[in-house]
Chains A and B, each alone.
Chain A
Amino acid sequence: MPQHQISMVLDLNKCLGCQTCTMACKKLWTDGDGMDYMYWNNVETRPGQGYPRNWDKIGGGFEDGKLRPSELPTKEDYGQTFEYNYAERLFQGGMQAMPQEEVRNTPNWDEDVGALMLGENYYFYLPRLCNHCTNPACLEACPRKAIYKRAEDGIVLVDQDRCEGYRYCMKACPYKKIYFNELLGKAQKCIFCYPRIEKGEVNACAKQCPGRLRFVGYLDDPESAVHKLVHVYKVALGLFPEKGTEPNVFYVPPFNPPRTGSYGKSVLEDPRMPMDYLKYLFGDEVIDVIRRLEGELHRAQSGGTSEVLQLLIGRDEHVRYQIPKHEDLIQIQGVHKA
């Protein structure tokens, strides 16, 4: 167990699907050779195929304490990377800007499509990154012991010198958040911006988020927003808890707007999206969380004060982020053990 566990909470009710986080990460970390198709942070529309395609259905994680078999996503599953005919469009004129190849799949192929329930459309955006799990399946699977979880902050990293590109980690990760750089023959993944975290700076994806939906801090820091949202108010849940990896990225589940003509009814009485879908993503506990959040909403709408909602508004950075520099980490007194 690490001495401290860095963590992120994402309020899905605030996500705009703008991909600014995706681009912040891409420009900072994955614009090297062989990393063209990698988005360590991506935002996908749910329900939808996801990135890589069908990642939630192809295996990985644990079952009865053992690693589950899995397929290895293909390059096409991640989606093509392509250029546009800029030179022709800009300098020859008379033609549309078009991709230079036929496009069959991209990382955000089914953006905003969603699904229908009782004739009404529903969807939400799901930003995803490595979950820096407490029980990482990738670490368990690596025969090279190239993957390690840092004692000081719980960040999971791939030692690029030890990695031989065997890709057992890619199969084992139930979130398919490890990528293969074929040119280098190495597995690569989200590093939770550890050089920034060490200096007390928040991750690039969170820093750039216009929706201000990301909260970052140490789970064992009782003063942190992430600790309060996960362990005190209990309104944030990990993705696919049944996969057994104990993710450390948490989500405040989405409400979606009320259904047409359902004014006055609760989300659970007349949901726009099937609760079974939310249970599929976040486990059965999501119903309790939604009930809790709805109670807070009612309190606020009745003129009362909701500490949870105030925190979730999170207008200012000091509300959302509590990241002591590494040299000051010793001052955090852990009070919670999950």
Chain B
Amino acid sequence: MKRLECLLICSAAAFAQNALDPAAAEWKSAAPVTLALHRTPPLYPTDAPAALEIPSVQAQIIHSPAGNFVRLEWADKTRDSAVLPKAEHAWQGDHLVTQSAATDRFSDACAVMIPAKPITGDLNPSLQMGDPDHPVHIFVWDGTRGAAVMEASGRETTKRTGQSFPAQAQYAAGKWTVTMQIPDLQAGTPFAVAIWNGSQQDRDGRKYFTIWYRAQ
């Protein structure tokens, strides 16, 4: 449990157009807040150390009648995402096999973590994927595999719920902009952000992360 330290001021607006469009005009009126990114310590001896090359992520949150939206923007010199053909044939059959194009590429990704149930008091769940008494929901966007909702109650417990959520992404001028619609990200909800840089083999706990912030 980590004591709540930071507040993030959010905007309320009514979207005239697709709120998930990273270029929607309403996002220009929502003041971006720069969240410092921290790097997880080397967790895995099989991997080379990673560089701290993405120091921060800009976050905006808008509560609107259409829902609660978050927009994340961060600089990443390399775009690591791929469009993969669908795997249609799991085992056997009279068909030409669709190929795996690569074995060693990883995708850029981001995630927003929020408590799975309302927080009482000013203590947040563990930053390491919550804890047994304070489970979390994680909304992950991955440059190759798209959006997925995960749940966790502590480190190494994350699992996919099988659900997706509305998200949109664009990469331009060395920056990723990802918008997400997260219904439970209401005013006062604590949230934390994670960023993965595929070109340095980021995945899993090998990532950048923020401390807890609170949407106001």
Q: Which residues on A are within 8 Å of B, measured CB to CB?
A: 27, 29, 31-37, 59-60, 66-70, 72-75, 78, 81, 83, 141, 143-145, 162, 164-168, 170-172, 179-185
Q: Are B145 and A185 in contact (CB under 8 A)?
A: yes
Query: How many A-B pairs with Cβ below 8 Å?
Result: 109
**Interface status of B28 (Cβ within 8 A of chain A):** no
The 10 closest A-B pairs by CB, nearest first: A183-B87, A182-B100, A171-B46, A33-B87, A33-B98, A36-B99, A72-B104, A67-B45, A34-B100, A180-B103
Please state if B85 and A75 are interface contacts (CB–CB under 8 Å): no
Beyond A60-B46, A168-B44, 4 additional pairs, beta carbon < 8 A: A164-B203, A182-B100, A183-B98, A184-B87
Query: Interface residues of B toward A: which range?
Result: 20 to 34
Q: Looking across the interface, which residue of chain A has its beta carbon closest to that of B155? A: A143
Q: A32 touches which one: B44, B87, B205 (CB < 8 A)?
A: B87
A185 to B86, CA, bound (A): 11
Q: Establish whether residues A166 and B100, one from each chain, have CB atoms under 8 Å apart when the complex forms.
A: no
Q: Is there contact, CB below 8 Å, between B100 and A180?
A: yes
Closest residue of chain A to B101, judged by CB? A182
Q: Does B97 contact A (CB under 8 A)?
A: yes
Q: Mark B191-210, 1 if CB is under 8 A from A, else 0.
A: 00000000001011100000
Which chain B residues border A83 with CB–CB below 8 Å? 96
Interface of B is mostly: loop
Asked if B47 and A69 sit within 8 Å, CB to CB, the answer is yes
Question: Which chain A residue has the least Cβ–Cβ distance from B86?
Answer: A183
Q: Which of A162, A166, A171 is the one whose CB lies under 8 Å from B204?
A: A166
Q: List CB contacts (< 8 Å) of B56-98 with chain A.
A: 84-93, 96-98
Choice from B46, B96, B103, B203 contacting A182 with Cβ under 8 Å:
B103
User: What CA separation (Å) do A145 and B97 show in the bound complex?
Assistant: 29
Residue of A nearest to B82 (CB): A182
**B159 CB–A CB distance under 8 Å:** yes
In the complex, B102 has a CB within 8 A of chain A:
yes
Residues of B within 8 A of A69 (CB): 45-48
B contact residues around A35 at 8 Å (CB): 97, 100
**Interchain CB contact under 8 A, B89 and A32:** yes
Would B45 and A74 count as touching, CB distance under 8 A? no
A34, A36, A37 — which one has the most chain B CB atoms within 10 A of its CB?
A34
B residues in contact with A180, CB < 8 Å: 100, 103
Instruction: Report the Cα distance A141→B46, complex, angstroms.
Output: 8
Query: Using a CB-CB cutoff of 8 Å, which residues 135-176 of chain B contact chain A?
Result: 145, 156, 159
Complex: how many Å from CA A171 to CA B92?
Answer: 28
Given contacts A166-B203, A181-B87, A185-B145, whether A68 and B100 have CB atoms under 8 Å apart is no
Tell me how far the C-beta of B34 lies from the nearest C-beta in chain A, rounded to whole angstroms.
29
Asked whether A182 lies within 8 Å of B159 as measured between CB atoms, the reply is: no
Query: Closest chain B residue to A27 by CB distance?
Result: B92
On whether the beta carbons of B46 and A168 are closer than 8 Å, the reply is yes
In whole Å, how far is A138's beta carbon from the nearest beta carbon of chain B? 10
| Bound Cα distance A29, B100 (Å) | 16
CB of B176 to closest CB in A, whole Å: 20
A36 touches B100 (CB 8 A): yes
What are 11 A-B residue pairs whose CB atoms fall within 8 Å in the complex? A31-B93, A33-B90, A36-B99, A81-B97, A164-B204, A165-B203, A168-B204, A171-B47, A181-B100, A182-B101, A182-B103
Which residues on B sit within 8 Å (CB–CB) of A67?
44-46
How far is the CB of B65 from the nearest CB of chain A, in Å?
Answer: 36
B104 touches A143 (CB 8 A): no
Nearest-neighbor residue (CB-CB) of B46 within chain A: A171
Contact with A along B96-117 (1 / 0, CB 8 A): 1111111111000000000000
Q: Is the CB of A179 within 8 A of B103?
A: yes
CA distance A167 to B101 in the complex (A): 16
In the bound complex, CA of A74 to CA of B104 (Å): 6
Cα(A181)–Cα(B156), bound, Å: 22
Q: Is the CB of A75 within 8 A of B89?
A: no
Q: Give Cα distance in the complex from A183 to B100, angstroms.
A: 6
